[in-house]
Structure 1
Amino acid sequence: MSTSDVTKEGIRGQRPGREAITGAADVAGKEQRRRRGGRRGGRGRGEPTRVPDAEFRSYYGKPVLNQIVWEAPDIGGYLFLGGLAGASSVLAAGAELTGRPELARPLKYTALGAISGSTVALIHDLGRPERFLNMLRVFKPTSPMSVGSWILMTYGPLAGVAAATSLTGWFPRTGRAATLGAAAMGPLVATYTAPLVCDTAVPAWHDGHRYMPFVFASSAAAAAGGAGLVTAPLAQSGPARRAAVGGALLETALSSTMEHRMGLSGEPYRRGRAGVFVRTAKALTLAGAAGAVLGRRSRLLSAVSGAALLAGSACTRLGVFHAGKQSAADPRYTVVPQRRRMAEREAAREGGDASAPPAREPGD
């Protein structure tokens, strides 16, 4: 039985349908009273009714994007340690080929320890080890996670053999081949996590897809160089020092450019917890680079600079992680760019601005 009554003012007591807009009844009632007042000469004659623009915050109390369920220690560590491992293998191979065994040896150990920690962090995030093994049942070239899993499985044994033969001195030719193989896989290990996070709908990640791989690569180079400065003697630390300084400068320049070019989507990198990590990363990275240059004759200063570079690289990955979480939680970073792109396309279609270029995604 219906409890609604039909009156001259409309249907009284009717429940709104699913398509009803919250607050629409108040707006409609005010509009009806304004019209009646205008006809009867009451208050408000000739005064326009202005309804404030709605501020989009959610959809029926739910965020526009599903919230990121990854945890910072797991995924932040996974991103950082993978980059450190890959770049360390590249630097270790270069050191071995140029006759710097005291630099190559600790970097091989660093690569093995880092890739082991990265894999453990990934498995811990997945919840059960068999979930990682299930990802190896098929190979999907279009899936960054599938490709990344196979990269890890290919690189891990090579890094392990390289470290084991260096430790024991057995099978030097096998060790040399494994070292070169790990170095060949190193750039992929250091950068595949960038397309992994960018291949999502998270604005702070997706809109930086043109820069993120280069940011991750330079950050990994700075971290590996820092590891070399911490572990190698001064006489053989030249390549590590150059990698540290070059990677640090590139990382700082590229990350700043990425944040600027992303527009609104780059805002989370300057706010909240992400902003704290990003600013800390830049300070540590630049301080580490300066110390690496000034500490060429000081073992202690070189080690401190290397530690700062390692910490800065870790903060960079944590900053990227938290920026993604913040942008997914606030609908503004999803809705505002979409509306702007739609308006630009409509204007171009209607010929409103014939000289305007087509709308481009942030980061293009």
Structure 2
Amino acid sequence: MLMVPDVEAEDFASYYGRAVVKPPPWGHEVAAYLFLGGVAGGSGLIALGAQLTGRDALRRNARLGGLASVALGGAALVKDLGRPERFYNMLRTIKLTSPMSIGSWVLTAYSAGIGVAAVAEVDRLGSRGSSRGLLPLGPLRPVLQAVEPWAGWEAAAFSPPLAAYTAVLLSDTANPTWNAMHRDLPFVFVSSATLAAAGLAMVTTPTRETAPVRALAVIGVVGDVVAMRLTEARMDPVAAEPLHQGHPGQLMRWAERLAVGGGLGALLLGSNRAGAILTGLALLGASAATRVGVFEAGIASAKDPRYTVLPQRRRLEARRAAGVTDDSITTAG
């Protein structure tokens, strides 16, 4: 007599109807942090490129956009944690095997660099060619001006990890859909961060300085679409189902449409101010839809035992077919 229902049946359920994998208790604050972290990470690299090529408006807007994104994202993260001191507690140690621990330090290091660079930009807003600045810094102004370029480099150094570590954080779990994406999700998140940061720069910066950003946006669109398609192709078909169903499926479809539309806009309309704004908004929307869609798909997959058990059964059968019988998972039955 079977102790549990046949896992191949359409109406399969786990013991007492409970989920096999407990869904993470994360709300919309975490989804917002995923998106804003991508915006901040991409903005740090764009700011450094503008710093090196003398694009003052692009540098300023990218730095301010990066600071605003990381501040809002940090606030969303702290709200999800419940108490601010919990974030401080994560900084009391460094655990190299924990994406959450490493991510907390990456977020803090990026915030320090982009914060110093953004303060220098704000102070410069009131100078108008004089030695006086907008902020009452006094003798600290020469110090700020001296460390500003290095702060830009420091923020850029931590930008790629900031854009990608949340993908590792999600996929390094037992969540069926997220775990099935573990090999490729960082590439998806880096591409979506590129779209978001390029989109923000196109919205906020005059077109005379955004030619490199438009090229970056096109590259990001290609990377985003290709990475997402390859990710789904390498996933177990059952684990990929939540990416195509319900609200997550709608978000993922719109993410691809907005990304393609934004890429075409960057190519054809990017030199026009109104066109650049519309294109930038499309790219921002594509990035947000991708990250929120992946987030919600993972939550949905953890609630249905089918997405946990059927991929496990497929992996077990594949091991047996390959003749593997001496590990802790496969038996010789």
Tell me whether the two structures share a fold, i.e. TM-score over 0.5: yes
Q: CA offset at residue 22 of structure 1?
A: 7.7
Cα distance in 1 for partners of 2:295, 2:78 equals 18
What is the TM-score with the length of structure 2 in the denominator?
0.87
Residue pairs, 1:215-364, within 5 angstroms: 215-262=188-235, 263-349=237-323
Which residue identity does 1:345 align to in structure 2?
A: R
Cα distance in 1 for partners of 2:79, 2:10 equals 42
- Corresponding position of 2:103: 148
Q: Give the secondary structure class of the aligned counterpart of 1:312.
A: helix
Q: CA offset at residue 260 of structure 1?
A: 2.1
1:69 to 10, 25, 32: 25
Cα distance in 1 for partners of 2:318, 2:264 equals 45
Which residue identity does 2:265 align to in structure 1?
A: G
Which residue identity does 1:95 align to in structure 2?
A: A
Higher relative contact order (CA 8 A, sep 6+): 2
Cα distance in 1 for partners of 2:272, 2:322 equals 62
Which residue identity does 1:103 align to in structure 2?
A: L
Gaps of 5+ in 1: 1-18, 24-51, 352-358, 360-364
Q: CA offset at residue 345 of structure 1?
A: 2.2
Residue pairs, 1:155-174, within 5 angstroms: 155-169=110-124, 170=141, 171-174=144-147
Q: 2:67 touches 2:114 (CA, 8 Å); kept in 1? A: yes
Q: Residue 98 in 1 paired to residue 72 in 2?
A: no
Compare CA radii of gyration and give the structure with the larger one: 1
Identity of aligned residues (%): 44
- Corresponding position of 1:57: 13
Gaps of 5+ in 2: 125-140
What is the TM-score with the length of structure 1 in the denominator?
0.80
Q: 1:166 touches 1:175 (CA, 8 Å); kept in 2? A: no
Spell out, residue by residue over 1:80-127, the C-alpha distance to the aligned partner (whole angstroms, 9 max, x if none): 101110110101100110111111110000000000111111111111
Which residue identity does 1:250 align to in structure 2?
A: G
Q: 2:203 touches 2:277 (CA, 8 Å); kept in 1? A: yes
Q: Residue 124 in 1 paired to residue 97 in 2?
A: no
2:179 to 182, 193, 206: 206
- Corresponding position of 1:189: 162
- Corresponding position of 2:136: none
- Corresponding position of 1:27: none
Q: Give the secondary structure class of the aligned counterpart of 2:261.
A: helix
Q: Give the secondary structure class of the aligned counterpart of 1:349.
A: coil
Spell out, residue by residue over 1:308-331, the C-alpha distance to the aligned partner (whole angstroms, 9 max, x if none): 101110111110001101111111
Q: CA offset at residue 21 of structure 1?
A: 4.2
- Corresponding position of 2:131: none
Cα distance in 2 for partners of 1:232, 1:322 equals 32
Spell out, residue by residue over 1:246-298, the C-alpha distance to the aligned partner (whole angstroms, 9 max, x if none): 11121011112211221221111111111011011111111111111111331
Q: CA offset at residue 55 of structure 1?
A: 4.7
Q: Give the secondary structure class of the aligned counterpart of 1:137.
A: coil
Q: 2:270 touches 2:279 (CA, 8 Å); kept in 1? A: no
Q: CA offset at residue 128 of structure 1?
A: 0.7
**How has the CA–CA distance of structure 1 residues 267 and 173 changed in structure 2, closer, same or farther, with 3 Å as cutoff?**
same
Q: CA offset at residue 343 of structure 1?
A: 2.0
**How has the CA–CA distance of structure 1 residues 20 and 251 changed in structure 2, closer, same or farther, with 3 Å as cutoff?**
closer
Q: Residue 85 in 1 paired to residue 63 in 2?
A: no
**How has the CA–CA distance of structure 1 residues 191 and 22 changed in structure 2, closer, same or farther, with 3 Å as cutoff?**
closer
Which residue identity does 1:189 align to in structure 2?
A: L
Q: 1:226 touches 1:244 (CA, 8 Å); kept in 2? A: yes
Over the aligned positions, Cα root-mean-square deviation in angstroms equals: 2.0
